[in-house]
Amino acid sequence: MREAHKTEATEDYVELIDDLICVNGEARLVDVASRMGVTQPTASKTLARLQRDGYISSEPYRSIFLTPMGKSLADESRLKHEIVFEFLQTIGVSKEAAKRDSEGMEHHVSDETLKAFKKLIRQYKS
Amino acid sequence: MREAHKTEATEDYVELIDDLICVNGEARLVDVASRMGVTQPTASKTLARLQRDGYISSEPYRSIFLTPMGKSLADESRLKHEIVFEFLQTIGVSKEAAKRDSEGMEHHVSDETLKAFKKLIRQYKS
DNA sequence: GTATAAACTAAGCCTTGGCTAAATTGTAAA
DNA sequence: TTTACAATTTAGCCAAGGCTTAGTTTATAC
Ligand SMILES: [Mn+2]
Ligand SMILES: [Mn+2]
Ligand SMILES: [Mn+2]
Ligand SMILES: [Mn+2]
């Protein structure tokens, strides 16, 4: 569908996998599925696609790793996510709404918009 | 997928149909398809779903009408779209980027965020 | 008023992202 | 070491949203 649309799942997955590796030391299917709110077979199929497309690597029944490409997409996605999240709170949106909205908006903000967000965050801080 | 996700297509379609009716006097499949950037059969199938779900009505080979439900969703969607579009420009994003980003962001902004956007637009105007 | 072109529909295919149910593998307790 | 449970995979289903190709219907031009 919409250009940005197609990569949304990919972005959310790699970001989550990176997070799990940071926090838990490894990313397991069962945790990916539960955090994404889908069943294990669903997560498993999506991860197969991510592997096919070169974002992750894993052996059968073993935990999941990010490829360099996957890692850089994860970093980029998290950065966007955090900026949008912080921006919304900065302009007065509640943490809960900011959390929900940023989860969707993150996939649609261009670098230009991101820059404007960062600028406003700085302005508010001073 | 993501909750807001599922309604994105619906929102874009009813908003477009309403626009076509306003501008052209009627909404025809050929125009819906071209504006959505999809083939006519694709638009046709989506419109069938919209009709099934009660957003539009139309007779075979005739133009498309919005039901009351479709019209109110269209109005709501356009309002969101316009506010996001104006907001982005207000904080310094170019018209082109604002157009692109608002087209995606519009589906993910809660009423709370929308209110914060409106407030900032007012502040900038004064 | 008929031919021709444009618009629309029908049929059939694909991918993604959901699900359930069942089989397999890995791990930890007994 | 066997056994049981947890994790993963496999298989098969569904809906949405995309496509192409081919057939119908409507509208236009002559
Ligand atoms: Mn994210
Ligand atoms: Mn997200
Ligand atoms: Mn819109
Ligand atoms: Mn849109």
pLDDT, tens digit (0-9, with 9 covering 90-100), for A6-21: 899 999 999 999 999 9
Contact A30, A40 (CB under 8 A): yes
Residues 6-65 of B with CB under 8 A from A: 8-9
Identify the three-state secondary structure at position B4.
helix
Q: Is the CB of B29 under 7 A from strand D?
A: no
Q: Is the CB of B39 under 7 A from strand D?
A: yes
The ligand with the least distance to the CA atom of B78 is 3
Strands, E assignment, A15-63: 56-57
Task: Please give the distance of CA B15 from its chain centroid, rounded to a whole number.
Answer: 4
* pLDDT at A1 > cutoff 80: no
Q: Is the CB of B42 under 7 A from strand C?
A: no
Residues A28-41 pLDDT 10s? 999 999 999 999 99
Which residue from B23, B37, B31, B38 is spatially nearest to B63, judged by alpha carbons? B31
The shortest C-alpha distance from B46 to chain A (Å) reads 12
Residues B48-85 pLDDT 10s? 999 999 999 999 999 999 999 999 999 999 999 999 99
Q: Which residues of A touch B122 (CB under 8 A)?
A: none
Provide mean pLDDT across the span B5-31.
97
Contact B80, B106 (CB under 8 A): yes
